[in-house]
Structure 1
Amino acid sequence: MSSILTNSSAMVALQTLKNINSNLAKTQSEISTGKQISSAKDNSAVWAISKVMEADVNGFTAISDSLSLGESTLAVARQASETVTDLLTQMKGKIVAAQEENVDRGKLQTDITALRDQISSVVGAAQFNGLNMVSGTDDVNILSSLDRSADGTVTAANITVARQDLGTAQGTFGSGSSLAANGTASAAAVANTANTAIVTVGNTWAADDTATLTVAGVEVSFTAAGAAVADIGDGLAGMINGLGLEGITATGNSDGTLTVSSTRGFEDVDIAVGEATAGDGDVLITTLNGTGSLTATSGSIDERAENVAFSTSASVNEGDSYKVTVGTSSYDYIAGKGETMEDVARGLKIAIDSAGDSDITTRVVQDTDTGQWSLKVDNDGASAAFAVSGNADGVASGGLFGLDSIDVTTDVGATSGLDNIETMINVAIDAAADFGSAAGRVETQNSFIGKLTDSLKAGIGSLVDADMEAASARLQALQVQQQLGTQALSIANQAPQNILALFR
């Protein structure tokens, strides 16, 4: 049946042509925009994923800028630390030269002062965009990543870089909880009195019997002339004194004993006795003024110095403040971040040495068996009170604390300066090494972020970018389909015209 009201063929042809035109418009959009999915209506799920990834790409681009800024800041800090290390090394050369008395120490001190001022200048200028990594103790966080969890939560990750304070500030003693238990003084006073060993010469000595005495590794021998034991003690004493051993003297006593005395501040003195012949006489060490080991024939005279022994278990926190009192003077050191009891001991040593007291000398030592660090203090003057105390919550001393006080114009200053400059050089070396390590990590992270950003961009492209080869082929096919659809619609629209022939 034919109808002039309903043309089914034309409706089918029209719908087909509409679909072709729609597909053609979509293909043309892909070609013009380069995207297969350019809006949420194209594919809402994929479009949403791509937008999240695009947001991450923008974030990582900003992170890359942050890492580049961090690299530059650390490069300045590392260069400053290395420069300070070189200047301190030059200063050490001047201090070594000052150990010789036959030099112009005044001119050497002038050079040391100039180097010290240059170090202060370097530390003050070592900033990038207002951030100085060699001043202060607060950590610096460099934004390094955005971490997205499975539930969509995003958190920022940081690379934390510790500042390395190369300042010379004294610090501020804390008023917090007591830390007195972390340090123990070996005595209530430090004095200049000698420690001694008593050697007893007893029984009967025949002529030509020989007694030997070894002091600080040097052996002396005395041959008896007869039975008077006092002669033995006097003879050994004279021979020991004739050796000229530093800090060691001997005295023969009328009761047949021999007193060996040592004023060596930081060295135990080994002592041993013997007999070269098997007579009836005896030579025995009967008393030590100290805590050295003792047998009948050997022992050791303790060093004269007293010490502050620091805890092997207590931790050291930033601001922990320790004070050593010698006589009426007190010497403070306030620990910085990441320091140990070794740093506390060395800081207190520098504080004491900086006072320039010619009677007081110091050493820092570690017990090889227990690992315990101790500060030793020797006094060549009048007896002085000796104590240690501590409190938390202070303001840390600078890493080069004591640099301003190095003075090689005196023997004591030259000696202590040589020891203390080593501590400061190690501080500067550690700072440069830490900055170098952190810079390497930041550089590696920046490189990774760049590669990650490229991967994310590639992933977004694979989701939303159009396949241009396929789109080109599809465009050609759809253009042909459009022409055919138009022709088919034209033919379908001519069908009602055929009905007119029935009425002619």
Structure 2
Amino acid sequence: MSSILTNNGAMVALQTLKTINSGLLDTQSEISTGKSVSSAKDNSAIWAISKVMESDVKGFNAISESLSLGESTVAVARQGAETVTDLLTQIKGKVVSAQEENVDREKIQTDIDALTSQISSVVGAAQFNGLNMLKGTDSVDILSSLDRLSDGSVSASNISIARADLSDSAGTYGTGTSLSANATASAGAIANTGNTEAITFADSTDMSGDDFQITVAGSTLNFSAGTFAASDTEELAIDQIAGQINALGLEGVSATRNGSDLEITSTRAFETVDVDFSGSPVSDDSVEISERAENVTFSSVSKVNSGDGYRVTLGSDVATYVAGEGETFEDVANGLKAAIDAAEIEGISTRVTTNNNGEQVLKIDNDSGTPVSTFTAVGAQDGTASGGLFGLDGIDVTSDQGAEAALDNVEILIQNSIDAAAEFGSAQGRIETQSDFIGKLTDSLKSGIGTLVDADMEEASARLQALQVQQQLGVQALSIANQAPQNILSLFR
């Protein structure tokens, strides 16, 4: 049946043409935007995933900038620490030169003071964008990554870089909880006399038949039978033995008789003296004369926290050191040593060792004409940390005592600056590695987003040409369908 009111063929051709035109518009949109999914209506799931990934890319771009800033900051700190190390090495050379007595120590000290000022300048200038890693003790966090979990939650990760305070600041002793139990002084005073061991000979009035050896501080005396006359009393024999020991000229070692005992005295600081006997008529085969020094012994189990301060009182002089972040009792002992040495107390010398129990020990010797009447050690929390080059401004080589003390102390300062430079170098390498990873990760995310939403231009081009042909055919089909009612007129002729 033909109808002039309803043209089914035209309607079908029109719907087909509309579908072709819609596909053509979509293809043209893909070609113009380069995306197969440019809005949520194209594919809501893919669009949502791509937008999340695009936001991550934006975040990682910001992280890359943060890492670049952090890397530059750490690089400046590393270069500063390396420069400080070089300057301290030059100071060491000056200190070594000052060990000779026939040099102009005043001029050497002038050079040391100039190098010390230069170190302060380097430490003060080693900043990037206002951040100085060579001052203070607080660590610095550098944004390094965004971590997205499967539930969609996001957390930030940081690379924490510890500062290395290379200033020579003294810090501030705190008023918090007492830490005195962590530092024990061996006595209430520091004597200036030697330590003595008494050697008792066997009861005898005739030593003429004895054949024996005595070794004192590595020097051996041989006494053969007949050395002493049968008429020599034991006291006379001991006097002769003491005289021969004194004749050895051993530094800091002397011998005398006290009744029927041979007393050997040592004034050697930080060094024990061994006395050994072989075949001798004495009750002991060997004797050890203890070193002349008093000790401050630090706990081997307690931890040192930033701001923990310790003080050692020597008569009217007080030496103070306040620990920084990550320091140990070895650092505390070395800091107190530097403080005591800088005070240049007459006759006082120091040394830091570790005892058999693994405890750090600050040894203090008194070689002056008078004893130190007061010797105490205390500690307290909540102070402000001393600088990593604490004691640098106290180096004074104009005297024998100062030159000797400076040699040990400058070694500690050099090691501190080397440790700081090494830590910064390691941190810089880590930041560089993370920066490279973030760059590659960002590229991978961009590639993944492209895989999801980018249009296949070859496919789109072929589809466009096909749709254009279909469009032309659709127009022709619609034209043919619209001519159908004209054919009805022929029925009425």
TM-score, length of structure 2 as denominator length: 0.97
- Stretch deviating more after TM superposition (226-235 or 412-421): 226-235
State the SS of the aligned residue for 1:283.
Answer: coil
Matched, 1:439 2:443: no
Match of 1:218 in 2: 219
8 Å CA contact 1:210, 1:224 repeated in 2: no
How is 1:31-180 mapped onto 2 (pairs within 5 angstroms)?
Answer: 31-180=31-180
Instruction: Give 2:459's aligned residue.
Output: 470
User: For residues 69-468 of structure 1, what are the structure 2 equivalents within 5 Å?
Assistant: 69-201=69-201, 202-207=203-208, 209-222=210-223, 223-226=227-230, 227-253=232-258, 255-275=259-279, 282-284=281-283, 296-367=284-355, 369-381=356-368, 382-383=370-371, 384-468=373-457
> Is residue 271–residue 300 contact of structure 1 (8 Å, CA) maintained in 2?
yes
Q: Distance in 1 between matches of 2:357 and 2:344?
A: 32
**In the aligned structure 1, how far is the partner of 2:475 from the partner of 2:25?**
16
Shift in Å, 1:205: 2.7
Compute the displacement of 1:372 (Å): 1.2
Identity in percent: 65
Q: Which amino acid aligns with 1:375?
A: L
Offset of residue 102 of structure 1:
1.2
Residues 448-467 of structure 1 deviation map (CA, whole Å, 9 limit, x = unaligned): 01001000100110011000
How far off is 1:189 after superposition?
Answer: 1.4
3-state SS of 1:426 partner: helix
Q: Tell me how far apart the structure 1 counterparts of residues 463 and 244 of structure 2 sit (CA, whole Å).
A: 115
What is the Cα deviation at residue 208 of structure 1?
5.2
Hey, what's the Cα distance between the residues in 1 that align with 2:167 and 2:159?
24
Per mean C-alpha deviation after superposition, the further-off stretch among 260-269 and 144-153 is 144-153
Question: Alpha-carbon deviations, 1:129-168, whole Å to 9, x = none?
Answer: 1111101111111111111122211111111101000000
Match of 1:288 in 2: none
| 8 Å CA contact 2:297, 2:362 repeated in 1 | yes
1:43-87: per-residue Cα shift (whole Å, max 9, x none)? 111111111111111111111111111111111100000000011
Letter in 1 for 2:289: I
Contact in 1 for aligned 2:238/2:257 (Cα 8 Å): yes
Gapped regions of structure 2 (runs ≥ 5): none
Report the 3-state secondary structure (helix = DSSP H, G, I; strand = E; otherwise coil) of the residue aligned with 2:151: coil
| Whole-angstrom distance in 2 between the partners of 1:21 and 1:189 | 104
Aligned to 1:498: 487
Q: After the TM superposition, which of the residue ranges 196-205 and 239-248 deviates more from structure 2?
A: 196-205
Q: Deviations over 1:313-347 (max 9, x none)?
A: 10000000001111122110000000001000000
- 1-structure distance, mates of 2:207, 2:485: 160
Residues 207, 234 of structure 2: 8 Å contact kept: no
Matched to 2:271, the amino acid is: E
Give the letter for the 1:489 counterpart: L
Measured in 2, the distance between the counterparts of 1:205 and 1:212 equals: 17
In structure 2, the residue corresponding to 1:188 is in which secondary structure? coil
State the distance in 2 between where 1:93 and 1:244 align.
33
| Structure 2 counterpart SS, 1:417 | helix
8 Å CA contact 1:98, 1:108 repeated in 2: yes
Deviation string, structure 1 residues 146-198 (Cα, Å, up to 9, x no partner)? 11122211111111101000000110001110101111111121111211111
Say whether the 8 Å CA contact 1:182–1:311 is kept in structure 2.
yes
Q: Conserved in 2, the CA contact under 8 Å of 1:250 and 1:258?
A: yes
Residues in 2 aligned to 1:260 and 1:149: alpha-carbon distance in whole angstroms = 76
Deviations 1:389-437 (A, max 9, x none): 0000000001000100100000000000000001100000000000000
SS of the aligned residue for 2:318 comes to: strand
CA distance in 1, matches of 2:176, 2:69: 38
Report how far residue 252 of structure 1 moved: 2.5
Q: Greater CA deviation, 144-153 or 300-309?
A: 144-153
Q: How far is 1:206 from its partner?
A: 4.8
Please, which runs of 5 or more residues in structure 1 have no aligned partner?
277-281, 285-295
* Separation in 2, partners of 1:274, 1:233: 16
TM-superposed deviation, 1:358:
2.4
Question: 1:292 matched to which residue of 2?
Answer: none
CA distance in 1, matches of 2:16, 2:279: 128
Letter in 1 for 2:346: S
Q: Is the 8 A contact 1:211 1:283 kept in 2?
A: no
* Residues 213 and 236, structure 1, Cα contact 8 Å, conserved in 2: no
Count matched residues. Answer: 486
Q: Return 350-359 or 194-203, whichever deviates more.
A: 194-203
Distance 1:257 1:155 in 2: 79
Q: 1:267: Cα distance to partner? A: 0.7
Letter in 1 for 2:60: F
Change (3 A) 1:232 1:109: same
Aligned-partner SS, 2:99? coil
Runs of 4 or more consecutive aligned structure 1 residues displaced over 4 Å after TM superposition: none
Q: Could you tell me whether the CA contact under 8 Å between 2:207 and 2:237 is conserved in 1?
A: no
Q: Distance in 1 between matches of 2:121 and 2:207?
A: 76
2:476 pairs with 1:487: yes
Give distance in 1, aligned partners of 2:346 and 2:416: 26
The Cα shift of 1:304 comes to 1.3
8 Å Cα contact 1:7-1:492 kept in structure 2: yes
